[in-house]
C-alpha cells in the first residue's frame, strides 16, 4: 500500500478529524473531537490530546493511537504494512468492528 495515510486498520487518516485539527491547528475542532471521543470511549480525552499526524506516519499521535490501539500494536509487532497484509484480517477480532462497519476501510486494506 503506497498511501501512508491509510491506517493499519484501513481507516483514512486524511479524513480523521484529529489529524485535520492537528494540521490546521484548529483548537475548536480539537475541543469537538475530544468531547465526541470522550463520550464514545467512556474516558476523559482532553483537547490537548488531539494531536496526530497519522497512524503510519512518523510524528505526533493521540495517546490512544500511540500506545493503546490493539490493532496498531499488533500490526507493528508483526511488522505489517497494514492489516491487509495479515492472512487473518477477515477473522481478526481486533479489527472486525472496523471492517464490518466501514466498507471503505475494508476496501483500503484490499487494495
- The CA dihedral of 101, 94, 10, 103, to the nearest 10 degrees, is -20
DSSP H stretches of helix in the chain: 17-23, 27-41, 63, 70-77, 96-101, 103-110
Q: How many CB atoms lie within 10 A of CB 77?
A: 8
The residue ranges of DSSP E strands in the chain, in sequence order, are: none
Over residues 33-87, the pLDDT tens digits come to 999 999 988 889 999 999 999 999 999 999 988 988 999 999 999 999 999 999 9
Over residues 3-31, the pLDDT tens digits come to 899 999 999 999 999 999 999 999 999 99
Domain ranges of the chain: 13-110
The DSSP output letter for 75 is H
Amino acid at each position: 500500500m503506497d498511501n501512508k495515510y491509510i491506517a493499519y486498520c484501513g481507516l483514512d487518516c486524511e479524513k480523521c478529524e484529529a489529524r485535520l485539527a492537528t494540521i490546521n491547528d484548529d483548537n475548536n475542532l480539537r475541543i469537538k473531537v475530544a468531547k465526541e471521543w470522550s463520550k464514545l470511549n467512556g474516558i476523559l480525552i482532553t483537547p490537548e490530546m488531539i494531536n496526530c499526524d497519522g497512524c503510519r506516519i512518523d510524528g505526533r499521535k493521540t495517546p490512544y493511537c500511540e500506545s493503546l490501539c490493539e490493532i496498531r500494536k499488533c500490526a507493528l509487532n508483526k511488522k505489517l504494512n497494514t492489516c491487509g497484509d495479515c492472512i487473518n484480517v477477515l477473522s481478526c477480532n481486533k479489527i472486525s468492528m472496523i471492517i464490518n462497519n466501514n466498507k471503505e476501510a475494508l476496501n483500503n486494506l484490499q487494495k
